[in-house]
Amino acid sequence: MATQHDENYPTVRVTKTVSVLPKSLNPTQTIHLSNLDRQCPLLMYVVFFYKSSAAYQNLSLDSIFSCLKSGLEETLSIWYPAAGRLNLNPSDGKLNLWFGCGGYSIGIGSSHSLFDGPATYDFLHAWASNSAILKQKRGTELYKPVHERGALLVENPGITKLPESGSSATRAVAIDHLYQLIKQAMSGQTCGPDTKFGSGKLPDVGNSNLVLKTFHLSGAMIESLKSKVFGERSGSFSCSSFELLAAHLWKARTKALGVMKGSMVCLQFAVDIRKKTVPPLPEGFSGNAYVLASAALTAEELEAGSHEDIVDKIKEAKRSISNDYVIAYNQALDGPQGTLPPLNELTLVSDWTRMPFHKIDFFHGEAAYVSPLLSPIPQVAYFMQNPIDSRGVDMRIGLLPQSLNAFSHYFLTKMQ
């Protein structure tokens, strides 16, 4: 069933803080980040929970901590960008990376500018492999990480500029839609009772106001939604769980936030481009290799549209991601760093279902649960694998307190 997490948990206290350095130091250098790295230069936190086990009874916390520390020292020798420091280039205002020197839980915080989701998964897997707790080290990785951004760099000194997109100029639709949403918000012609605009100012919907909730959606619930949406055609209509849940989420969130019917609304979601660039990015590429795909409608069209219509819009947005789109998107991000204002009209989704984080075994066996804590943009909805139900999806999302009940109602009604 779908549940919302209770908030009456014991307080976590910090008892020790240590600095962890790579086991072997690499020469000091600057790694030029790509524009894709710079699009979300904020901290991402993930926590792993492991059940208690009789196998751990004779292990002290100090010995476990020592194994994790030693494993991280070894991993940082190969994944050395994670041991670096982010700084702004004073000449162009761009972000670059520079380096110098009972049960259990493991929490990790890192800048999204270092790694995207797939690269973070590989890094954490390497760390777990190098931390020999009740198991032998598993040797070298399947492939070595590639940290240089190479073809994704646009105009850094000494770096080849990306090729032009050709005679038929491709637009970065997601960037165009964001500009339209911001212009709409500045005009004060947007949405309903939860957010008010005035005097050309952007909405004051701070991230600190958002309540983070996780909804557990079983495989049976997802099938029930598919059956209710598509009826007898549910077996023949090609639709992934991501596409169906993203469409359903977009409709429920927009309605719960009271967006005015004439307002433009967007659904944007991350698309991995490792296999979409020409040539494809090298195996083990560790940087950010995603762009946002975007679908746009008016709030009225979204509410009136069928789930099938919305799924078709999502499929169309997916199909639009080509090498030309990546080039246009990358070049559109070129410039000094900035942050995206919170917008009710923008629904963001990040799909982690192909990255089984719970299978990263820092201890002996899989994690009982893994969850992002405070994400770089808390209103993003994360779709994650359910550790127990292989067909289930856990959705974690940040919502305004005054819209939480309405969202839960609209989102869960068709799933039960």
Q: How much is the average pLDDT of 80-93? A: 65
Q: Which helix (H) or strand (E) holds 370?
A: strand 369-372
In a domain, 327, yes or no: yes
Q: How much is the average pLDDT of 213-241? A: 85
Residue 289 reports pLDDT greater than 80 = yes
Q: How much is the average pLDDT of 136-152? A: 69
Residue 7 reports pLDDT greater than 90 = no
* Catalytic residue ranges: 112
Question: Which residue did the predictor score with more confidence, 73 or 263?
Answer: 263
Domain range spanning residue 304?
172-182+208-231+238-353+375-413
Question: Which residue did the predictor score with more confidence, 141 or 29?
Answer: 29
User: What's the pLDDT at 101?
Assistant: 36
User: What's the pLDDT at 86?
Assistant: 63
Percent pLDDT > 90 in the chain is 30
In a domain, 243, yes or no: yes
Q: Which two tokens stand for residue 337?
A: 């760093």
Confidence of residue 162 (pLDDT cuts 50, 70, 90): very low
The rounded distance, in Å, linking the Cα atoms of 218 and 164 is 46
The rounded distance, in Å, linking the Cα atoms of 113 and 90 is 18
Q: Which helix (H) or strand (E) holds 97?
A: strand 95-99
Domain containing residue 286: CATH number? 3.30.559.10
The rounded distance, in Å, linking the Cα atoms of 398 and 43 is 16
Return the CA Rg of the chain.
22
Confidence of residue 177 (pLDDT cuts 50, 70, 90): very high
The DSSP string of 119-171 is HHHHHHHHHHHHS-SSS----S-SS--B---GGG--S-TTSPPPPP--SSPPP
Q: Which residues are CB-neighbours of 13 under 8 A, at least 6 positions away? A: none
In a domain, 384, yes or no: yes
User: What's the pLDDT at 392?
Assistant: 93
Give the model confidence (pLDDT) of 119-132 as tens digits. 888 888 888 888 76
The rounded distance, in Å, linking the Cα atoms of 388 and 218 is 9
In a domain, 319, yes or no: yes
Number of domains, the chain: 1
Residue 257 reports pLDDT greater than 90 = yes
User: What's the pLDDT at 197?
Assistant: 32
Confidence of residue 208 (pLDDT cuts 50, 70, 90): low
In a domain, 290, yes or no: yes
Residue 277 reports pLDDT greater than 60 = yes
Q: Which helix (H) or strand (E) holds 84?
A: strand 84-88
Three-state SS for 210? coil
In a domain, 277, yes or no: yes
In a domain, 15, yes or no: no
The rounded distance, in Å, linking the Cα atoms of 295 and 357 is 28
The rounded distance, in Å, linking the Cα atoms of 327 and 275 is 14
Q: How far is CA 51 from CA 10, 106, 393, in A?
A: 17, 12, 21
User: What's the pLDDT at 202?
Assistant: 36
Q: Which residues are CB-neighbours of 130 under 8 A, at least 6 positions away? A: 70, 71, 72, 74, 75, 137
Confidence of residue 363 (pLDDT cuts 50, 70, 90): confident
The rounded distance, in Å, linking the Cα atoms of 375 and 117 is 12
In a domain, 2, yes or no: no
User: What's the pLDDT at 383?
Assistant: 94
The alpha carbon torsion through 232, 385, 110, 398 (nearest 10 deg) reads 50
Q: How much is the average pLDDT of 59-77? A: 82
Which residue type is seen at 98? W
Q: Which two tokens stand for residue 123?
A: 């890094």
Confidence of residue 236 (pLDDT cuts 50, 70, 90): low
Which residue type is seen at 391? R
The rounded distance, in Å, linking the Cα atoms of 412 and 44 is 28
Q: How much is the average pLDDT of 312-336? A: 90
Percent pLDDT > 70 in the chain is 75
